[in-house]
Structure 1
Amino acid sequence: MPNYDKLTLKEAVLQWKAHCEAVEEATTTNAHETEKQKKERIKHLLSDYGAFVDYYFPHYTSNPQTGKQTPCAPFQIKAAKQIKADKNLKAVYKWHRGAAKSTHIDIFIPMWLKAQIYGGAELRQFWVMVLVGKSEDNAKTLLADLQAELQYNKRYINDFGQQHNNGTWEDGSFVTKDGTAFFARGRGQSPRGLRYRSHRPDYIVIDDLDDDELCQSPARVTKLTDWVKEALFGALDGGRGRFIMVGNLIAKNSVLANVCAIKSVKVSQVNILDAKGNVSWAAKWTRQEVQAIEDFTGYRSFQREYMNNPIVDGAVFRADWIRWAKRPAWRDFTEIVLYIDPSWKSSQKNDYKAAKLWGKTKKTQLWHLRAFVRQATVAEMVRWCYDLYEWAEKTGIAIKYYMEANFMQDALLDDFTTEGVLRGYQLPIVGDKRKKPDKFLRIESIAPLWERGFVFYDDSQKDDPDMLAGIDQTLAFQKGMRGHDDAPDADESAISILQKHSKITSFTPSFGKRTTAKNVTW
């Protein structure tokens, strides 16, 4: 799908014309195909959505890097079948960025449904389609790509007849030769009375209605949600017809989130990585490519754009509380602790492992010195811990190693033992036997240390990806979060040990007569 964002009208028209030429060029037909072969092929394509997309839209599915076509993802095929099966479907397709949601829901699926009447096999799937975008221009742009396919896709025209209808082929509003009408509307525009002849809309698609500016205003989100539920939904004939919304969840306060909350609405959520860390559209991206996306965008942006997990930046910790400074001399630290949080699921690459090195000075400052925060195996984390131990020995630094006692009994401790055998010594890990209270309360309780200026970060690590990943998780931390919190959890545990060891245990409080101003000396 062409990208018309930030183009002038003239530039957009030129790009659209180039796109139309590309459609024509890519959809050449087989002149030697017999009528029987043609009918058999069409019958197969109408029953197989993935094959339908591969045949009619090679200009969308071809991969310029490999020269091969990228097949549909399983979730795209499932959505097509669901939409075809239920003419009164009310659904939200909450798919990650790059999942081709607009391409499938706005173009491929409508054309697949429209073609079902070929040979009288099925009744007409829909009469009037309305495509709703952020603005009228945005909606017209989205609809123009569907219009280009109906007018210039030679394969589709060869199989299902001429679609272009002189006199009714306008920008943002057109009717095909068989009487199927298509309209574009912007958010907030009145859809009342929208119909073609006696037919009211029966296929409404709301495409990426939310944006950052809108989601910052609860009042505007509420007003637009009401417009969707009342005016737009009311354009259907008494609720009959498909009412579909597509987008990724960029904010918890959004129209998409509000529509998902409606009980009768079916919600399809697809993240770029599934719960096991596998790529949802494996035919398009490798796991390494997805990791590269996260490395570039950062944890919080990746969670929002690709994992449908919008995170409120600074809900507990604020960015201006992160203080980088020149580290004191190692001899100025009274205690240095490495807290290891290997996570329970040691076999899953998508699960974060965290090991955080913290130090305390005589002035009770807390310094974050080194970090391991990665989606890695336990073995990789173990090697890092041993490398740190050997570096500390050479540098003359004494480090205390801690790990939650429950993990000390787990099979993952075998990784430490195995690495120790290879290196000729065992890492002196102490089990943390503290009975930990609720995680959110624990981590939230140390936030004032950042706010009051007691926490510092070693500025020699300012460009270290592990340190930055840990800061991302810290700033993203909030109650009920679905993202990763391994880094701030390890921070809290290390700080708890340092703070506990800071307490003066020999002080005996005196409970006696209150001191008066008269006998106070300054």
Structure 2
Amino acid sequence: MLAEIYRSGAKSVHIDLGIPLYLYVTDRLKFMLLFGQTDSKAKKLISDIQSELTYNQKFIHYYGKKFKFGDWSDGDFTTTDGAKFMTSTPGQSPRGLREGTARPDYIVFDDVDTRQRVNNDELSRRLFDFAWEDARGTFDEGSPNRRFVVANNNFHKNTLINMLKDEFKKINKRLKREGFQSTFFVLTVPAVKNLETFEPNWPEKTSAEYWRQKYISTPYRSFMREYMHTHIVEGTIFQNKYIQWKPRNQFRSYEALVFYGDLSYKDAGDYKAMVFVGKSGREFHILTAFVRQTSRYNVAKWLYEFVEANNLLKNNVQYFIEGLFAQDEFVSDFDVVGDELGWYVPVVADEKTKTGKFDRIESMQGYFQRGNIWFNEAEKDSTDMTELVNQLLAFSKGSGAHDDGPDALQSAISKANVSALTNQTPMKTTSRKEIMKRQKNRF
């Protein structure tokens, strides 16, 4: 379960204290393992259970003394009836962890993310792998009690809870398709129900007036991140206020339609980006995008599926891929899919030499500032379009952030400009008689 609860929403009180104590007294918890951001923070979180078991006289009256001499240290203690409570931190291997024959049956990750980690894709992916593989792998397979809980506010796309939320969506789709009942749940609690009435989700603690004042006195992006689970990354070049959405036009109404792919040489390590842009007057409409860490074959497969689903072969669409590296090999990847399907998308390599990637991408800033760039509203919840927007917002000199999406977008806009001019310029013809008249006497 993911407890996506706003900051100060009593996540830890429920997930680290109330629920595990309830499970313990109902004989459904034998081994709790809590992961905190640091060792001291993890011990502080689990000390609340230790205090209740030791000093809460009402608890002792109903359930008896649980304090066990000689085994009651901070962050690692066992009760008189054998229940184990233990803390750890991400990175400390839990493989093979057990108490006697008992393995963990209640695992919690509470507020483990840091600003440094979420701003680094590699560190975030390591935490995800550790939680989802190493930690979850300590459960006793087949046991009826295997509870895995992550508690945090969802303040960044790279937080553990957000990455698991995306994973849960994929898992639940597969389970539904195969006819299985899901056990992967997401509890989402923002501070207020909406930003009009500011009606609080915990009215016993705070009022609508409190949250209205909080909203006014807090930077918008901070409020949305910390209290509403909405990620807003403020870019230095491409700012969030430049990101506009509206429905696309009919394909045939555009002056130019261009697909452009920036495909890395590495097969699956880097992002592969392909962006579809339509030019309409002064506007450039980003109609769809593919921005993923995957193979070139998967990009080609996606392109063919999109072209077929939208019957694009009947439209005047240009298809380019960047041809700086192994262009014949890259085009071949698309032809392989064409061989499988029995028809072909006319993808060609862009042989134009490119220099100064940063300057090229930055040159789009004027289009964004003037409101000439529009994203397809139908794609607003698409993971690919979200990744493209995230890469734009993260783009800056020396940031080290992925820029494959913005690079493909800049090239698509450039090609669309040229294509629109070519399509609009009337063809000039000269008769053979006129040509002969201009020539010098050949005799």
**Alignment of 1:477 onto 2:328:** no
SS in 2 for 1:60: strand
SS in 2 for 1:339: strand
Q: State which of 31, 36, 41 in structure 2 corresponds to 1:58.
A: 31
Answer yes or no: is the 8 Å Cα contact 1:342–1:354 preserved in 2. Answer: yes
Q: CA offset at residue 449 of structure 1? A: 0.1
Q: Name the CA distance, whole Å, in 2 between partners of 1:471 and 1:269.
A: 16
> What count of residue pairs does the alignment treat as equivalent?
296
**Alignment of 1:332 onto 2:253:** yes
> What amino acid maps onto 1:271 in structure 2?
L
- String of CA shifts for 1:19-72, please: whole Å, max 9, x gaps: 5686689899xxxxxxxxxxxxxxxxxxxxxxxxxxxx82227xxxxxxxxxxx
> What amino acid maps onto 1:283 in structure 2?
D
- Residue of structure 2 equivalent to 1:101: 36
Over 3 Å counting, the alpha-carbon distance change for 1:394 and 1:478 in structure 2 is closer
> What amino acid maps onto 2:397 in structure 1?
K
Q: Name the CA distance, whole Å, in 1 between partners of 2:158 and 2:71.
A: 45
Over 3 Å counting, the alpha-carbon distance change for 1:328 and 1:452 in structure 2 is same
Q: State which of 39, 48, 51 in structure 2 corresponds to 1:144.
A: 48
Where does structure 1 lack aligned partners over 5 or more consecutive residues?
Answer: 29-56, 62-99, 109-138, 165-245, 258-267, 287-296, 507-522
- Residue of structure 2 equivalent to 1:271: 123
Q: State which of 430, 447, 457 in structure 1 corresponds to 2:348.
A: 430
Answer yes or no: is the 8 Å Cα contact 2:255–2:420 preserved in 1. Answer: no
SS in 2 for 1:271: helix
- The percent of aligned pairs where both chains have the same amino acid is 24
- Residue of structure 2 equivalent to 1:283: 134
Q: Name the CA distance, whole Å, in 1 between partners of 2:255 and 2:324.
A: 28
- String of CA shifts for 1:271-309, please: whole Å, max 9, x gaps: 34249x9657523469xxxxxxxxxx99x922356799x
SS in 1 for 2:252: helix
> What amino acid maps onto 1:101 in structure 2?
G
SS in 1 for 2:33: helix
Q: CA offset at residue 401 of structure 1? A: 0.7
Over 3 Å counting, the alpha-carbon distance change for 1:271 and 1:162 in structure 2 is closer
Q: CA offset at residue 15 of structure 1? A: 8.2
- Residue of structure 2 equivalent to 1:303: 158
Q: CA offset at residue 105 of structure 1? A: 4.7
Over 3 Å counting, the alpha-carbon distance change for 1:436 and 1:157 in structure 2 is farther
**Alignment of 1:341 onto 2:341:** no
**Alignment of 1:489 onto 2:407:** yes
Over 3 Å counting, the alpha-carbon distance change for 1:451 and 1:384 in structure 2 is same
1:214-363 mapped onto 2 (5 Å cutoff):
248-250=113-115, 271-274=123-126, 282-284=133-135, 301-303=156-158, 312-348=233-269, 351-361=270-280, 363=281
- Residue of structure 1 equivalent to 2:174: none
> What amino acid maps onto 2:264 in structure 1?
S
Q: CA offset at residue 491 of structure 1? A: 0.4
Over 3 Å counting, the alpha-carbon distance change for 1:414 and 1:157 in structure 2 is farther
Q: Name the CA distance, whole Å, in 2 between partners of 1:414 and 1:18.
A: 56
Q: State which of 297, 302, 321 in structure 2 corresponds to 1:403.
A: 321
Q: Name the CA distance, whole Å, in 2 between partners of 1:162 and 1:431.
A: 68
Over 3 Å counting, the alpha-carbon distance change for 1:386 and 1:60 in structure 2 is same
**Alignment of 1:382 onto 2:355:** no
SS in 2 for 1:367: strand
Where does structure 2 lack aligned partners over 5 or more consecutive residues?
Answer: 75-110, 138-152, 164-230, 426-443
- Residue of structure 2 equivalent to 1:421: 339
SS in 2 for 1:301: coil
Q: Name the CA distance, whole Å, in 2 between partners of 1:336 and 1:461.
A: 17
SS in 1 for 2:264: coil
Q: Name the CA distance, whole Å, in 2 between partners of 1:334 and 1:490.
A: 19
Q: Name the CA distance, whole Å, in 2 between partners of 1:397 and 1:13.
A: 57
- Residue of structure 1 equivalent to 2:417: 499
Over 3 Å counting, the alpha-carbon distance change for 1:369 and 1:18 in structure 2 is closer
TM-score under structure 1 normalisation?
Answer: 0.45
Over 3 Å counting, the alpha-carbon distance change for 1:283 and 1:385 in structure 2 is same
